[in-house]
Amino acid sequence: DGMPGNLDASWNERASARDAAVGAFLQLDPSIGAADSAPSGPLAGTTFGVKDNIAVRGYQLTCGSRLLEGVVSPYTATAVERLQHAGAVVAGKTNLDEFGMGSSTENSAFRRTLNPFDRGRVPGGSSGGSAAAVAAGIVDFALGSDTGGSVRQPASFCGLFGLKPTYGAVSRYGLVAYASSLEVIGVLARSVDLTERVFATMRGEDPLDHSSLPWESAARPAAAKGGTRGKTGRLRVGLPRQCAGDGLAPEVRRTLEATRERLAGLGRPVTEVDLPTLEHVVAAYYVIATAEASANLARFDGIRYGRRAGGAVNPEELVLASRSAGFGDEVKLRILLGTYVLRSGFQDQYYLRAQKVRTAIRADFARVFESVDLLLMPVYPVPPFAPGSAEADPFAQKLADVYTCSANLAGLPALAFPAAVEAGLPIGMQLIAPPFAEDRLFEACRGLEKIFPSPEAPVT
């Protein structure tokens, strides 16, 4: 039937059974994409899940939204195409918070995804389906998008490595835009090695995305500089003092401390650094992200894109009815907020001010990276939470994005890694590097992985 040998009926059966337990996929069917994958190549024999805001020809592209229910993509994202050329096979499309907006995957219009470590907890988000798919052992790796933490936070909740590449390192062609100046396609996997191989396959310039950069020339300056290693030849790690204090759940604080000790044991003592702009990160992120979202989502009007509402008697009514019926509450809230901050006469007060804060955040990171090679930070201030808990509150979720969305505002690469399992729940930490210094992230995390590998989820 044209399927690679390892994807026979028993593969399908096992995958469907596991997916029934966690709800990771919106569409699970490797036969759709198999013909587009090379029969051999460096990633041959691997399967992957693709977040359903990334286009794969022949599969649906719903973005977790009612508005796009039933839409089938006529084309494939560049990042996916490169993986297919390397022999990897798309197994299906994974669940997400609608258009990537959220941190629990509860904002999907279609299904709940459960954390494979504890089905009473969320898998994180917005790439929660991708994380659950890998943690439940359905696929070898998965793609997500990271606009403000959506690869790293679910990776952390599900005991995985989660890479957010440098802005521009991976083509965004075929990624449905949420906030274009912040986002990038990233990888979730259970080993540093596979994460790195997938990234190496996807990255590099793409004529279809003018913000993408040629990897070799972009990465050369960072590699040539080699960082601040000093006499020991070891990477120097800094911990922003603003991350170490209040606001972390005890489990997360303990994990941060344990990680610090592991790094010291690996010959990488962690020094305290100052990142004062961190307190402005969430405010700047939610002004910029919603402003961009309000513009990017304008195309979903029931005319150009999106399901058309019936019964309207004029175009205004048609657009209003289609968007009212098609978008969920969180998406509507963000479109309203984004429209508010961009409204004429008030741009100075919100949007332009947020851009200035963003510039200050970038400068803050650049200054810190003059004395250290990597920054250690928590991914999320609390362990995987339960639906309906205080941590699940939409406003609490936004405040909790502080550690992840700082890297997006600054365009920096970051790698979340498994660092603890407390009361059966995975907790991750992250390392952040200067632009195009992903190699440093892999180098440091390989050492940490030997001490604390990706934990195995209870078999479902």
Kindly list the catalytic residues. 51, 126, 150
Question: Which residues within the stretch 426-455 sit at the binding site for ligand GLN (CB under 6 A)?
Answer: none
Q: How far apart are alpha carbons 274 and 271 in whole angstroms?
A: 10
Distances (CA, A) of 201 to 42, 156, 268, 275, 323: 9, 23, 29, 33, 37
For ligand GLN, which is the closer residue by CB, 202 or 405?
405
| 154 touching ligand GLN, by CB under 6 A | no
DSSP conformational letter for 246: T
For ligand GLN, which is the closer residue by CB, 155 or 273?
155
Among 115, 150, 195, 242, binds ligand GLN (CB under 6 A): 150
| 103 touching ligand GLN, by CB under 6 A | yes
In this structure, are residues 95 and 24 in contact, taking their beta carbons and an 8 Å threshold?
Answer: yes
Least separation in angstroms between residue 101's CB and ligand GLN is 5
For ligand GLN, which is the closer residue by CB, 98 or 449?
98
For ligand GLN, which is the closer residue by CB, 401 or 438?
401
In this structure, are residues 307 and 321 in contact, taking their beta carbons and an 8 Å threshold?
Answer: no
For ligand GLN, which is the closer residue by CB, 37 or 62?
62
Between the CA atoms of 433, 439, 440 and 445, what dihedral angle is there, to the nearest 10 degrees?
110
Query: 């201030």: which residue's tokens?
Result: 381
Q: How far apart are alpha carbons 90 and 81 in whole angstroms?
A: 10
Least separation in angstroms between residue 103's CB and ligand GLN is 4
- Spatial neighbors of 288 by CB under 8 A, at least 6 apart, are 179, 181, 182, 351, 354, 355, 358, 409
- Taking CB under 6 A as the binding criterion, the range among 35-43, 97-105, 131-139, 241-249 that sits at the site for ligand GLN is 97-105
Among 401, 438, 443, 449, binds ligand GLN (CB under 6 A): 401
Least separation in angstroms between residue 382's CB and ligand GLN is 13
Q: How far apart are alpha carbons 293 and 178 in whole angstroms?
A: 5
The string of DSSP codes covering 190-235 is SSHHHHHHHHHHHBS-BTTBTT---HHHHHHHHHHH-TT-TTTTPP
In this structure, are residues 431 and 374 in contact, taking their beta carbons and an 8 Å threshold?
Answer: yes
**Region for 89 from its dihedrals, namely left if φ exceeds 0, alpha if ψ lies in -120 to 50, beta otherwise:** beta
Least separation in angstroms between residue 185's CB and ligand GLN is 11
> Which one, of 440, 378, 427, 449, lies nearest residue 407 by Cα?
378
Q: How far apart are alpha carbons 86 and 294 in whole angstroms?
A: 36
Least separation in angstroms between residue 153's CB and ligand GLN is 7
| Number of residues counted as binding ligand GLN (CB under 6 A) | 14
Least separation in angstroms between residue 406's CB and ligand GLN is 12
Which tokens belong to 406? Answer: 């700082």
47-51 β-sheet, strand order: 25-28, 89-94, 47-51, 141-146, 184-189, 161-164, 414-422, 425-432, 374-378, 237-240, 270-273
Which tokens belong to 106? Answer: 């509860």
For ligand GLN, which is the closer residue by CB, 114 or 293?
293
| 131 touching ligand GLN, by CB under 6 A | no
| 126 touching ligand GLN, by CB under 6 A | yes
Least separation in angstroms between residue 171's CB and ligand GLN is 17
In this structure, are residues 175 and 99 in contact, taking their beta carbons and an 8 Å threshold?
Answer: no
| 277 touching ligand GLN, by CB under 6 A | no
For ligand GLN, which is the closer residue by CB, 25 or 178?
178
- Taking CB under 6 A as the binding criterion, the range among 54-62, 144-152, 190-198, 431-439 that sits at the site for ligand GLN is 144-152
In this structure, are residues 25 and 69 in contact, taking their beta carbons and an 8 Å threshold?
Answer: no
Q: Which residue is nearest to ligand GLN (CB)?
A: 150
For ligand GLN, which is the closer residue by CB, 118 or 401?
401
Among 30, 33, 64, 102, binds ligand GLN (CB under 6 A): 102
Among 148, 165, 328, 418, binds ligand GLN (CB under 6 A): 148
| 100 touching ligand GLN, by CB under 6 A | yes
Angle between helices 402-410 and 281-296 (to 10 degrees): 70
Least separation in angstroms between residue 182's CB and ligand GLN is 8
| 289 touching ligand GLN, by CB under 6 A | yes
- Taking CB under 6 A as the binding criterion, the range among 114-122, 143-151, 233-241, 345-353 that sits at the site for ligand GLN is 143-151
For ligand GLN, which is the closer residue by CB, 161 or 452?
161
| 149 touching ligand GLN, by CB under 6 A | yes
What pairing do the DSSP bridges indicate for beta strands 270-273 and 25-28? unpaired
In this structure, are residues 260 and 251 in contact, taking their beta carbons and an 8 Å threshold?
Answer: no
Q: Which x/- pattern over 176-195 shows residues binding ligand GLN (rule: CB under 6 A)?
A: --x-----------------
Least separation in angstroms between residue 364's CB and ligand GLN is 21
Interface positions with ligand GLN (CB under 6 A) = 100-103, 126, 145-150, 178, 289, 401
